């Protein structure tokens, strides 16, 4: 299992969605906006710095759990899939994955 460490920036509602190809209905829910740091690779595949990423993730029925941690650094379980558009690996939050608030080291 992989964990994403990020700051929860926002949670917003989503509308019900019908897939035009299959007719499958995705119920209304929530998305969470999370900010994290991602390494940037240079020409020879070595680390050449880092960039800040702000990404939206579907959390459907868990919107209230993520609203409680807005502005906090959290760890949440994620999965990986191949994005069909970019042909690059992308992350998703599996159904039922709750955020765990990280505490600062003393």
Predicted model pTM: 0.84
Residue 62 pLDDT exceeds 80: yes
pLDDT band, very low/low/confident/very high, at 39 (cuts 50, 70, 90): confident
Q: Exposed e or buried b for every residue in 8-31, given b needs 16+ CB within 10 A?
A: beebeebeeeeeeeeeeeeeebbb
pLDDT of residue 102: 95
pLDDT band, very low/low/confident/very high, at 90 (cuts 50, 70, 90): very high
Q: What is the rounded average pLDDT for all residues in the chain? A: 91
Mention every residue, 6+ apart, whose C-beta is less than 8 A from residue 96: 62
3-state secondary structure of 88: coil
Backbone φ and ψ for 60, nearest 5 degrees, come out as 40, -105
End-to-end CA distance of the chain: 27
């Amino acid at each position: 299992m992989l964990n994403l460490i990020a700051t929860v920036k926002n949670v917003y509602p989503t509308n019900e969605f019908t897939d035009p190809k299959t007719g499958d209905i995705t119920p209304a829910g929530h998305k969470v906006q999370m900010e994290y740091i991602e390494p940037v690779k240079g020409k020879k595949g070595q680390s050449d710095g880092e960039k800040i990423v702000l990404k939206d993730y579907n959390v459907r029925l868990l919107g209230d759990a993520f609203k409680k941690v807005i502005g906090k650094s959290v760890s949440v379980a994620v999965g990986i899939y191949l994005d069909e558009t970019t042909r690059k690996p992308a992350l998703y939050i599996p159904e039922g994955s709750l955020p765990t608030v990280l505490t600062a080291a003393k």
